[in-house]
Amino acid sequence: MKLIGLNREEVKNALKTGRVTIAVYGMGKMGLPLAAVFADHGAKVIGVDINERVVENINRGENHIKEEPGLDELVRRNVEVGRLRATTDGIRAAKEADVMVILVPTLTDERGNLKLGPVYDVAEKISKGLERGDIIITEATMPPGTTESLIPIFEKSGLKVGEFGLAHAPERTMTGTAIRDITGQYPKIVGASDEKTLEAVIGIYETINGKGVIPMSSIKAAEAVKVFEGVYRDVNIALANELALWCEEHGLDALEVFQAANTQPYCHLHMPGAGVGGHCIPVYPWFVINLAKKTNPRLIKTAREINDSMPHHVVELTVKGLNDAGRPLKGSNVLVLGLTFRGGVREFMKAAAKPIIEELKEWGANVYAYDPLCTREDAERFGAGWKEDFRGIDAIVITADHREFKELNLERLAGEMRTKVIVDGRNVLDPEKARKYGFRYLKVGNAG
Ligand SMILES: NC(=O)c1ccc[n+]([C@@H]2O[C@H](COP(=O)([O-])OP(=O)(O)OC[C@H]3O[C@@H](n4cnc5c(N)ncnc54)[C@H](O)[C@@H]3O)[C@@H](O)[C@H]2O)c1
Ligand SMILES: CC(=O)N[C@@H]1[C@@H](OP(=O)(O)OP(=O)(O)OC[C@H]2O[C@@H](n3ccc(=O)[nH]c3=O)[C@H](O)[C@@H]2O)O[C@H](CO)[C@@H](O)[C@@H]1O
């Protein structure tokens, strides 16, 4: 059922009664939860992915996103009742769907150059199945202006924008809380090509999001909201890192000072640490930097440099800790705890562990690694040995805040390690407790 021209209440009713078909392109950490939530609210949903194994799993009612609580059941029951199915045929999905949601990766390379290939691929497929009255929504985080830059591709269908609707509704969630966030942790941001499309898209998201919708004046404004959220986070993490380095110089504990400062409602000092990884936070600033022609985003560029320098600082802390214990880094056995970019997610994009392992090896250390979400092969891919105990280890370097690391048995570590040095790159351990067991405990913002 085409939705353009309906008011939001009519759209909600149509969606809930199974008269709306939604195709979601990208069955990943964001796309599959969204598809399952739409299906659970009554829509007929087609999940589209280029990965045949992903498609086969979903059609068997199996969820492959293991970091998402509740998603197994949501996928199983909606596949079982026939509301959710998956395909690799993106063109056919567009022909059958009334609404097409683009939620494939939007990435950059190490230098921040955009890699929007998956978005263009999906746009081309949608253009071959687009029908009058259809609505296309980009949910993937987009450099502002990108959604509208796809219009020439969509108009290859022979339709003009206006005959189909275009909107941007950024996915404001994170792996591990996607279902909670999609269904109402935050209001949904929506910008659209025209009033009728905006009205329909508000109806679509009010159906699934209990916090409602914030309509924006344009598609580009909606794109900027999500990107700015990420830039805010990256710049504030850089501020925390810079102040933490100052605290080290002045013998202060950064977290003690930050926690006290943050009791003031206007102060939100973030967590200093081993660096900023993932598909999101280190990427979104480049969307702003690359699009700046007359302005010069100096602060945003400097923040990126500060955050990218933190893995090296963690290596410096490791050298200091070992030296204080009378051991050179060269020849020491160092165990890196964490290969993923953050705890709870098996994702390696710009993980701090990679440069840390490389630099430790350059200095002649024997480097091992362990991560509860990873395998021996992952460690070897990073250039480290795999080690699940602490015997003979001189220094432990924590680079991801996995729950397991917060619960480390310090008594066992003290008994097994050869030299007792801990560099806590994610502030997961209690400094006093570590020092009580005789560890030299260092972290970003407190060099012991
Ligand atoms: N992961 C997060 O916490 C998070 C949070 C908010 C927003 N986002 C944004 O959501 C978007 C998707 O991120 P994600 O974490 O779900 O990625 P992901 O890597 O987990 O999943 C992407 C999926 O898209 C599929 N895919 C790739 N190219 C395709 C194509 N041409 N056609 C169809 N499917 C294709 C892949 O096979 C994969 O299954 C990105 O723009 C990201 O910035 C991510
Ligand atoms: C919708 C979307 O895109 N969602 C994103 C998702 O982001 P994400 O999954 O990438 O996770 P983040 O928590 O942002 O971590 C990124 C890296 O920064 C390090 N870090 C973090 C905080 C800090 O104070 N100091 C740090 O050093 C951390 O170790 C890691 O390496 O969720 C965030 C809400 O959590 C959102 O804001 C963010 O938009």
Task: Report whether 143 contacts 291 (CB < 8 A).
Answer: yes
For ligand 2, atom 12, the nearest C-alpha belongs to: 281
Q: What share of the chain is helix, strand, coil (3-state, %, to 5)?
A: 45, 15, 45
The pLDDT assigned to 175 comes to 86
Instruction: Please write the tens of the pLDDT for every residue from 285-336.
Output: 999 999 999 999 999 999 999 999 999 999 999 999 999 999 999 999 999 9
Between CA 274 and CA 407 the distance in angstroms is 19
Burial (CB < 10 A; 0-12, 13-18, 19+), residue 97, is buried
Residue 51 Cβ inside 6 Å of ligand 1? The answer reads yes
* Residues paired with 398 in a beta bridge: 337, 424
Mean pLDDT of 21-35: 97
Residue 278 Cβ inside 6 Å of ligand 2? The answer reads yes
For ligand 1, atom 33, the nearest C-alpha belongs to: 49
The pLDDT assigned to 174 comes to 85
Domain extent listing, the chain: 8-217, 301-443
Between CA 108 and CA 282 the distance in angstroms is 9
The pLDDT assigned to 163 comes to 97
Mean pLDDT of 30-44: 98
* Residues paired with 78 in a beta bridge: none
Which ligand is nearest the CA of 35, by number? 1
Between CA 220 and CA 198 the distance in angstroms is 14
Residue 177 Cβ inside 6 Å of ligand 1? The answer reads no
Q: Are strands 188-192 and 165-168 parallel, antiparallel or unpaired?
A: antiparallel
Q: Is 182 helix (H, G, I), strand (E, B) or coil?
A: helix
> Quick one: tokens of 30?
């964001």
Mean pLDDT of 420-428: 97
Between CA 274 and CA 356 the distance in angstroms is 9
Task: Report whether 410 contacts 390 (CB < 8 A).
Answer: no
Between CA 287 and CA 279 the distance in angstroms is 13
Q: Which atom of ligand 1 is nearest to the CA of 30?
A: 16
Q: Which atom of ligand 2 is nearest to the CA of 341?
A: 31
Q: Is the dihedral of CA 260, 261, 266, 272 positive or negative?
A: negative
Helix (H) or strand (E) holding 46: strand 44-48
Q: Is the dihedral of CA 280, 281, 284, 290 positive or negative?
A: negative
pLDDT band at 71 (very low <50, low <70, confident <90, very high): very high
Same fold, 8-217 and 301-443: yes
Task: Report whether 419 contacts 332 (CB < 8 A).
Answer: yes
Residue 33 Cβ inside 6 Å of ligand 2? The answer reads no
Residue type present at position 29: K
What fold is seen in the domain 301-443?
Answer: Rossmann fold (3.40.50)
Residue 46 Cβ inside 6 Å of ligand 1? The answer reads no
The pLDDT assigned to 354 comes to 98
pLDDT band at 109 (very low <50, low <70, confident <90, very high): confident
Instruction: Please write the tens of the pLDDT for every residue from 134-168.
Output: 999 999 999 999 999 999 999 999 999 999 999 99
Please give the angle made by the CA atoms of 145, 21 and 197, to the nearest 5 degrees.
40
For ligand 2, atom 23, the nearest C-alpha belongs to: 271
**113 has a pLDDT exceeding 90:** no
Mean pLDDT of 87-99: 98
Between CA 324 and CA 303 the distance in angstroms is 31
Q: Look over the chain and give the mean of its residue pLDDT values, rounded to a whole number.
A: 96
Q: Which atom of ligand 1 is nearest to the CA of 26?
A: 24
The pLDDT assigned to 5 comes to 92
270 alpha carbon – ligand 1 mean position (Å)? 26
Residue 340 Cβ inside 6 Å of ligand 1? The answer reads no
**339 has a pLDDT exceeding 90:** yes
CB-based contacts of 72, cutoff 8 Å, min separation 6: 63
pLDDT band at 107 (very low <50, low <70, confident <90, very high): confident
The pLDDT assigned to 219 comes to 98
Residue 49 Cβ inside 6 Å of ligand 1? The answer reads yes
Which ligand is nearest the CA of 139, by number? 1
CATH class of 8-217: alpha beta
The pLDDT assigned to 431 comes to 92
**110 has a pLDDT exceeding 80:** no
Between CA 182 and CA 3 the distance in angstroms is 21
The pLDDT assigned to 333 comes to 98
Between CA 128 and CA 163 the distance in angstroms is 15
The pLDDT assigned to 416 comes to 97
DSSP per-residue letters across 204-215: HHHHH-TT-EEE
For the chain, give the percent of residues with pLDDT over 70: 100
Mean pLDDT of 44-51: 98
pLDDT band at 235 (very low <50, low <70, confident <90, very high): very high
107 alpha carbon – ligand 2 mean position (Å)? 16
Report the b/e string of 363-401 with b at 16+ CB within 10 A: bebbbbbbbbbbeeebbeebebebbeebeebbbbbbbbb
Tell me which of 125, 226, 320, 443 is the catalytic residue: 226
The pLDDT assigned to 317 comes to 98
The pLDDT assigned to 59 comes to 98
- Annotation says 280 is catalytic: yes
- Annotation says 115 is catalytic: no
Task: Report whether 153 contacts 130 (CB < 8 A).
Answer: no
Residue 127 Cβ inside 6 Å of ligand 2? The answer reads no
> Quick one: tokens of 76?
């199983």
pLDDT band at 447 (very low <50, low <70, confident <90, very high): confident
Which ligand is nearest the CA of 138, by number? 1
Residue 34 Cβ inside 6 Å of ligand 1? The answer reads no
Between CA 76 and CA 273 the distance in angstroms is 38
> DSSP secondary-structure letter at 382?
T
The pLDDT assigned to 294 comes to 96
Q: Which atom of ligand 2 is nearest to the CA of 277?
A: 31
Report the b/e string of 338-355 with b at 16+ CB within 10 A: bbbbbbbbbbbbbbbbbb
Please give the angle made by the CA atoms of 92, 95 and 101, to the nearest 5 degrees.
90
Tell me which of 12, 44, 125, 280 is the catalytic residue: 280
Residue 342 Cβ inside 6 Å of ligand 2? The answer reads yes
For the chain, give the percent of residues with pLDDT over 90: 96
Mean pLDDT of 210-239: 97
Which ligand is nearest the CA of 50, by number? 1
Burial (CB < 10 A; 0-12, 13-18, 19+), residue 34, is buried
Burial (CB < 10 A; 0-12, 13-18, 19+), residue 131, is middle
342 alpha carbon – ligand 2 mean position (Å)? 8
Strands (E) across 49-159 are located at: 84-87, 99-102, 107-108, 114-115, 135-138
Task: Report whether 48 contacts 128 (CB < 8 A).
Answer: no
